[in-house]
Amino acid sequence: MTGEQLTPVAALRRIAFLLERAREDTYKVKAFRSAAATILPLSDDELAGHVTAGTLTDLPGIGASSARVITDVWHGEVPERLAVLEEEHAGPLAPGGRELRAALRGDLHTHSDWSDGGSPIEEMAFTAIEVGHDYLVLTDHSPRLKVARGLSAERLARQLGVVDAVNEHLGGSGFRLLKGIEVDILDDGSLDQTDEMLARLDLRVASVHSKLAMDADAMTRRMVAAVAQPFTNVLGHCTGRLVTGNRGVRPGSKFDARKVFEACVENDVAVEINSRPERRDPPTKLLELARDIGCLFSIDSDAHAPGQLDMLDYGCERAEQASIDPERIVNTWPAERLLSWASR
């Protein structure tokens, strides 16, 4: 990346992306994304005036660091902050799984600021294009997960209109933003959204987020019932465990994995390989069991910010280590095949 190829907005977005990729503090990321949003509507002459007068920091959302980046790019230089981040964080996040990563066409589990993500829908879509995706499924949370600002049926309906608008704007790019949800699996195995709204979506990830420590038999019944729901396409982060990170650690749920994975095969539901490093879900033994039983898989980032879309690297490495056939990974499929499978 050279100074001639950069614009100030692109440099600020790239810095934010790399900071997210490095899992830096959110406030640092927001500083650069806010600065990019501030200067985006400015004309070249307006921006030049602020650079020349040294008044960039008078604009809302622009601090000393982002002003330095804008100024450097304006003068045809690669900002030092960007150069350091490119050197330290631009390479693969995991050494293995590179061929599989190249084979992935998209990501089936991502979040925006409509629920507990950190960025607007359009920013997630633009970044998905930049990392090489053909499609991205937007899967914000369902209503019961209030801590994550889960979407009611009314809010979800409004979001679908935004997705249509983004796709219209991106027309001709070859990329598609798909309509989805990460729907909560309720205690009895039903899904936390109306059938009417679920039917309007392209794809649905069903996940357990509550009562993770329930009795193993009850959890097995709950998960098998959810997998058997006609709208379920992907079983998300099946144990719910946390193995590292600032949220602490949490043991996985107990359930009869064989019964659950056999239900996935019977109902043509994919088992998610959740790529977030704090999850690594399913654990290796369960991943291998699902492989041996014959499950389909989906390698997902569960991204809550644009820079986290590259976390797919971790899931691809795990899938390669488990010798999972790429043909059984549904997001290696072209969009039309994926949509046909998801709408069965």
CATH number (domain holding residue 196): 3.20.20.140
Element holding 242 (H helix, E strand): none
**What is the identity of the amino acid at 320?**
E
Per DSSP, the three-state class of 204 is strand
pLDDT score at 152 = 96
User: Which pair of structure tokens corresponds to residue 260?
Assistant: 């659950």
Whether residues 111 and 231 fall in one domain:
yes
How far, in Å, CA of 220 to CA of 266, rounded? Answer: 15
Per-residue pLDDT tens digits for 15-39: 999 999 888 888 889 899 999 999 9
Which neighbouring-strand residues pair with 179? 138
Q: Give yes or no for residue 190 having a pLDDT over 60.
A: yes
Element holding 108 (H helix, E strand): strand 106-110
Q: What average pLDDT does range 137-141 have in this prediction? A: 98
Q: What average pLDDT does range 281-305 have in this prediction? A: 98
Torsion of CA 225, 226, 228, 229, to 10 degrees: 120
In this structure, are residues 344 and 269 in contact, taking their beta carbons and an 8 Å threshold? no
Whether residues 109 and 135 fall in one domain:
yes
Model confidence, pTM? 0.92
Whether residues 74 and 120 fall in one domain:
no
Per-residue pLDDT tens digits for 140-167: 999 999 888 999 999 999 999 999 999 9
User: Could you give the angle at the alpha carbon of 119 between the alpha carbons of 235 and 281, nearest 5°?
Assistant: 25
Q: Which residues contact 77 (CB under 8 A, 6 or more apart)?
A: 3
User: Which segment of 241-245, 265-269, 278-282, 291-295 scores lowest on mean pLDDT?
Assistant: 241-245
pLDDT score at 120 = 93
- Percent of the chain past pLDDT 70, that is, above it, reads 99
Whether residues 82 and 105 fall in one domain:
no
How far, in Å, CA of 299 to CA of 288, rounded? Answer: 14
pLDDT score at 74 = 96
How many domains are contained in the chain? 2
Element holding 241 (H helix, E strand): none
pLDDT score at 2 = 39
